[in-house]
Structure 1
Amino acid sequence: MDAPTPHPCRPRPRVVLTFPGQGAQHARMAAGLYGVSKSFTSTMDHAFDAFGPAGRTLREGWLAATPPAAFDDISYAQPLLYAVNCAMGAMVTEAGLRPDVLLGHSVGELAAATLAGVFSFDCGLRYLSEYIGVYRHAPRGGMLAVAASPREVEAHLVPGVVIGAVNAPRQVLLSAPEEALADVEAALRGAGITCSRARALQPFHHPVMRDVVTTYAGLLTRPPLHPPHTTLYSAYTGQELANELATDWQFWTGQPAEPVLFGPTLEHLLSSGPHLLVEAGPGQSLTALARRTPAVARGDAKALALLPARAGEPDADIEAVRAALKQLATCGCDPLSPDF
């Protein structure tokens, strides 16, 4: 009897930790892990302590069953997203997960950079605190999620509106001060194009933010930066982040004025071989985007989220993380040992 023909071994997929940005925040995001996971809890408490009196307000708003009216404002959403993303990253890496690549969306890129060692968690918290003080001078506005391609959307843009993010071939975010955003929303709806307001109260990734940071740049400290020790992809450059950019504070301070190219960046990353995408932050928005890519459709990549899509029962976060970690073991990762 002939021996069976050996099949070439499928290469181990590269593990990619992804971190969501503005719009992913929701009441009690990942709060089910607070007081349960030691690493998650200590990271969150460290953040609240670092923000001083404002940290107590952040903690209360985060844990409240009904979030405060300002929860989507930069003063709440950005520090909480950064802290939760970093806490989730710390929890899974301490459990034994060794990511090969880090990728974030908007403020999620700051968390990715922290885990890559570009700057410390304390440095990131200090920068965010100053950043919030600067960008509170930005005009009120927001972002509009549009189910259309960039080319389709461009035909309906009105003065003052820009494409602030390209998340997928037919999913873009428009950014503008409030009056212009209302005008373009009406124009798109009139043309039969589906759109909805994103959870943001500032026009992130709009050139008007550049004027703000130029005016108040002197208020931002710039501690030393370091080349990433883990491969770091940037949704602003669309590719692996070069050391010279990673160590340039102008690159980081300019991000709120630059468009996020998460969709094209993800496509570029997935073109380099098999990958396992793990969303380490609130919700499942990046996982949903990843599952629409050709690489996932072909089976060349997989995408999973550590947390539920939205807040649920008190144990939902713990159960979701446990289920995700078990799934990782079936995808080629070493067994993980969470601290709960």
Structure 2
Amino acid sequence: MGRPIALLLPGQGSQHTGMATGLYRTDPVFTAAMDEVFTEMGEDGACLLADWLAPDPAVELDHVTRSQPLLFAIDYALGQVVLGWGLRPEALLGHSIGELAGATLAGVFSLRDAVRLVLDRIHRLAGGPPGGMLAVAARPEDVTAFLDGDVVIGAVNAPRQIVLAGPDPALALVEKSLVAQDFTCRRVPSLSPFHSPALAPANAGAAEAIAKLPVSAPRITLYSCYTAVPLTHEDVADPNYWASQPVAAIRFWPALDALLAERDAVLVEAGPGQGLAQLARRHPAVRAGRSAVVSLLPARPGPGERDRSALADAAKSLGVKRHTGQPER
């Protein structure tokens, strides 16, 4: 038997214009899953669909009301494509909003309830302060002296790859200081300071709304990108866990390390771009050839044919023949 499959589900920063649109109305499983998400979103879904397909969207895709629900939908739909191939992932690891897509695929939330959570989250966070996220090639201890009370380490993605988060102009000032000291920095596409305390006031009350949603124990091992360990039924039943996610720091690398410590796996990035795949290729288990990495979508934006070719190549790499089917329920 071959190595088990583990899905990596990307989050904020992986979005781009035209992401995965080449699969819409061409791959029946992907299309059905996306349409189901848009239908559950009602009027919000109709606007989201229009902006997703538009070359010049009315609301830019980096805005919280576009990036977050679209990333959730695409991650979820690509997960359904993998299930439609007859593959059963042994583990799921989502990054930021990708974890919520993973929780839906794992059966923690029904799709309807997950969509309710996403909509509640984005409507709250839309009222938050402007800000952003900054990828820095450094260790956490390298940048501590540059941080002030408003800018924090929002993610640890790899041994020398962190993301700072905070409101502007504070984040811009920290960026200027880091660049002056020859740190390599790159802005992450985001108009909000995700994974920083700056969003806490806007996110207030989220736990009370989430507490009304029914949850089930994960049917697939679901690694937390916040605690870096598999989530238990007790964990997923705690509304504060889900409510804190927009504010809490991400620990993707420790979570990936924990996942690969338990098994050698084929890590399948199911979402826009290949950002998580690039990080995963730096892991010792992948570099040694014990584990492997496959991406379902191309690394960079391009015509729709590139989406279809990338998906076909991924299917071939995974040893399956693409076929039509029905999304998992």
Which category describes the TM-score, using the shorter chain as reference length?
A: over 0.9
The answer to whether structure 1 residue 277 and structure 2 residue 267 are counterparts is yes
Q: Following TM superposition, by how much is the alpha carbon of 1:234 offset from its aligned partner in structure 2, in angstroms?
A: 0.6
1:210-229 correspondence to structure 2 within 5 Å: 210-215=200-205, 217-218=207-208, 220=210, 222-229=212-219
What is the root-mean-square deviation in Å for CA atoms of aligned residues? 1.6
Query: 2:226 — aligned with what?
Result: 236
Identity of aligned residues (%): 44
The answer to whether structure 1 residue 338 and structure 2 residue 326 are counterparts is no
Q: Following TM superposition, by how much is the alpha carbon of 1:14 offset from its aligned partner in structure 2, in angstroms?
A: 2.4
Deviations 1:131-157 (A, max 9, x none): 111112211111111011111111221
Do the aligned partners of residues 216 and 106 (structure 1) sit closer, same or farther apart at CA in structure 2, a change above 3 Å counting? closer
**8 Å CA contact retained: 2:312, 2:322:** no
- Residue of 64, 88, 92 corresponding to 1:74: 64
1:61-210 correspondence to structure 2 within 5 Å: 61-68=51-58, 70-210=60-200
Give 1 or 2 for the bigger CA radius of gyration: 1
> In structure 1, how many angstroms separate the alpha carbons of the residues matched to 2:58 and 2:186?
21
> In structure 2, how many angstroms separate the alpha carbons of the residues matched to 1:68 and 1:147?
34
Q: How many residues align?
A: 325
**8 Å CA contact retained: 2:23, 2:304:** no
**Which runs of 4 or more aligned residues in structure 1 lie more than 6 Å from their structure 2 counterparts after TM superposition?**
none
**8 Å CA contact retained: 1:158, 1:183:** no
Letter paired with 2:324 = D
Q: Following TM superposition, by how much is the alpha carbon of 1:32 offset from its aligned partner in structure 2, in angstroms?
A: 0.9
**8 Å CA contact retained: 1:82, 1:111:** yes
1:17-36 correspondence to structure 2 within 5 Å: 17-36=7-26
Letter paired with 2:323 = P
Q: Following TM superposition, by how much is the alpha carbon of 1:336 offset from its aligned partner in structure 2, in angstroms?
A: 4.2
> In structure 2, how many angstroms separate the alpha carbons of the residues matched to 1:304 and 1:134?
35
Give the structure-1-normalised TM-score.
0.91
**8 Å CA contact retained: 1:17, 1:101:** yes
Question: Which ranges in structure 2 are unaligned for 5 or more consecutive residues?
Answer: none
Give the structure-2-normalised TM-score.
0.94
**8 Å CA contact retained: 1:96, 1:336:** no
Letter paired with 2:313 = A
Do the aligned partners of residues 54 and 177 (structure 1) sit closer, same or farther apart at CA in structure 2, a change above 3 Å counting? same
**8 Å CA contact retained: 1:131, 1:220:** no
